[in-house]
């Protein structure tokens, strides 16, 4: 197998073109930075706009960052920087946070492709500029313990668990390849947070980039199912009204109760959603914290060797004010007054029962009864679970 050679050293200008997200990268423009309005609309910046659009679409198509962007490869350093700014501004105004998340992953992986073979000085400088300084010790990189934990929490590979690391004097020492992976996570965390833009800018972007947002929405994949769980896609229209309402609450940036967050994670796991899909469902929460959410979801879904907690049954949801029997939030009636008749069937006891009756596949051992053809009681939700598990995404 061919081994990639080391990347050549970068001069300061090239550094910012390669890593435009670094603090101080605006220096690449030599003090002639365009206004937000000009960058978004002026024909003078047509090339950065085109490259920025290509960066967005490439990320949507392949968040691994492996897709070659011809325009980017041939761009000057200032054009690379401005195209990055353009993409970040556009995505900050996108109707959905999903494209920004995929773009953050793709840009971080694209940067890692260089960091993985970059000179040690370059890796050290990028880490320091991102706020995660690492000391070089005998060819290794030593991160402060809090910094390591902050970055490693978002990495799923078992080799990054603290118990497997060399810890001395409050610092974790890692090999250069692992250091590059930690810096990749730092980049992803940085870019996944949308920049604050004025409402007038949001309106301008949504008007001018309506076609782009339509293309992005059409390319985004459906929720991903875990391997071996279901041969079909997870379809939201099959979810019971209560679950759809929980998801819409989070998507609107509103708070969802502890019981609701637990119930949503348990339900999505049972219908076959993978870990990333479940974590993504909480990103709209006003107090969203990725590391906490990921920890909570992993706890809820890993119980019993991966069987996971049973979602609360209908009576439990009703006691927590989460039942949506009085209105389907996705109904054509704007007031949501159209009732779902299935929710009022006397045999319906569990949200998973609803999903299966709508044609969805449920991955569980003790499935709720499908209806009056059998006298078996549906599996009960673990009513104490929300109290034993901290609510998903809450600090």
| DSSP characters over 213-243 | HHHHHHHSPPPPBPTTT-SS---GGGS-HHH
Instruction: Determine whether 145 is exposed, middle or buried from the number of CB atoms within 10 Å of its CB (0-12, 13-18, 19+).
Output: middle
Q: Is a pLDDT exceeding 80 seen at residue 289?
A: no
96-146, pLDDT tens digit by residue? 887 888 898 889 999 999 999 999 999 999 999 999 999 998 899 999 999
Average pLDDT over residues 289-316: 88
How much is the pLDDT for 233?
A: 66
How much is the pLDDT for 223?
A: 56
* % helix, strand, coil for the chain, step of 5: 50, 5, 45
How much is the pLDDT for 292?
A: 85
Confirm if 81 and 127 have CB atoms less than 8 A apart: no
Reference 258, options 98, 97, 96, 383; nearest CA is: 383
How much is the pLDDT for 379?
A: 33
Q: What mean pLDDT is reported for the chain?
A: 82
**How would you classify residue 116: left for phi > 0, otherwise alpha for psi between -120 and 50, otherwise beta?**
alpha
Q: Is a pLDDT exceeding 80 seen at residue 192?
A: yes
Q: Is a pLDDT exceeding 50 seen at residue 333?
A: no
Which of 57-71, 166-180, 266-280 shows the lowest per-residue confidence on average (mean pLDDT)? 57-71
How much is the pLDDT for 392?
A: 45
Average pLDDT over residues 340-362: 90
Instruction: Determine whether 383 is exposed, middle or buried from the number of CB atoms within 10 Å of its CB (0-12, 13-18, 19+).
Output: middle
The model's confidence at residue 312, banded by pLDDT at 50, 70 and 90, is very high
- Please tell me the pTM assigned to this model: 0.63
Supply the DSSP string of 257-316, one letter for each residue: -HHHHHHHHHHHHHTTB-HHHHHHTTTTSTT--HHHHHHHHHHHHHHHHHT-PPPP-HHH
* Rg (the chain; Cα; Å): 24
44-87, pLDDT tens digit by residue? 999 999 999 999 999 888 777 667 788 888 889 999 999 999 99
DSSP 8-class letter at 96: S
How much is the pLDDT for 157?
A: 75
């Amino acid at each position: 197998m061919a081994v990639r050679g080391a990347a050549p050293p970068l001069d300061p200008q090239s550094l910012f073109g390669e890593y435009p997200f670094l603090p101080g990268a605006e220096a690449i423009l030599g003090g002639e930075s365009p206004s937000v309005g000009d960058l978004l609309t002026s024909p003078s910046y047509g090339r950065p706009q085109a490259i920025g659009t290509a960066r967005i679409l490439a990320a949507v198509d392949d968040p691994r960052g492996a897709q070659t962007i011809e325009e980017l490869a041939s761009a000057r350093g200032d054009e690379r920087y401005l195209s990055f700014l353009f993409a970040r501004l556009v995505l900050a105004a996108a109707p959905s946070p999903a494209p920004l998340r995929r773009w953050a992953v793709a840009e971080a992986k694209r940067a890692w492709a260089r960091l993985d073979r970059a000179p040690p000085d370059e890796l050290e400088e990028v880490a320091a500029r991102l706020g995660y300084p690492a000391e070089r010790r005998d060819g290794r990189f030593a991160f402060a313990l809090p910094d390591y934990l902050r970055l490693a929490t978002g990495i799923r590979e078992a080799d990054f668990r603290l118990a497997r690391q060399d810890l001395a004097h409050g610092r974790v020492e890692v090999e250069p390849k692992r250091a590059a992976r930690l810096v990749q996570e730092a980049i992803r965390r940085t870019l996944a947070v949308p920049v604050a833009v004025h409402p007038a800018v949001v309106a301008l972007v949504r008007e001018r980039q309506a076609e782009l947002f339509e293309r992005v929405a059409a390319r985004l994949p459906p929720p991903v199912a875990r391997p071996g769980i279901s041969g079909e896609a997870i379809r939201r229209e099959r979810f019971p009204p209560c679950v759809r309402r929980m998801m819409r609450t989070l998507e609107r940036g509103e708070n969802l109760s502890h019981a609701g967050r637990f119930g949503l994670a348990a339900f999505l796991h049972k219908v076959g959603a993978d870990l990333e899909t479940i974590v993504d469902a909480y990103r709209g929460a006003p107090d969203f914290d990725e590391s906490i959410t990921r920890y909570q979801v992993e706890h809820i879904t890993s119980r019993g060797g991966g069987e996971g907690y049973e979602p609360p049954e209908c009576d439990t949801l009703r006691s927590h004010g989460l039942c949506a029997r009085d209105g389907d939030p996705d109904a054509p009636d704007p007031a949501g007054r159209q009732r779902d008749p299935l929710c009022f069937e006397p045999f319906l006891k569990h949200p998973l029962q609803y999903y299966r009756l709508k044609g969805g596949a449920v991955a569980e051992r003790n499935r709720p009864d499908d209806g009056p053809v059998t006298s078996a009681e549906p599996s009960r939700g673990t009513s104490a679970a929300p109290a034993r598990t901290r609510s998903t995404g809450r600090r």
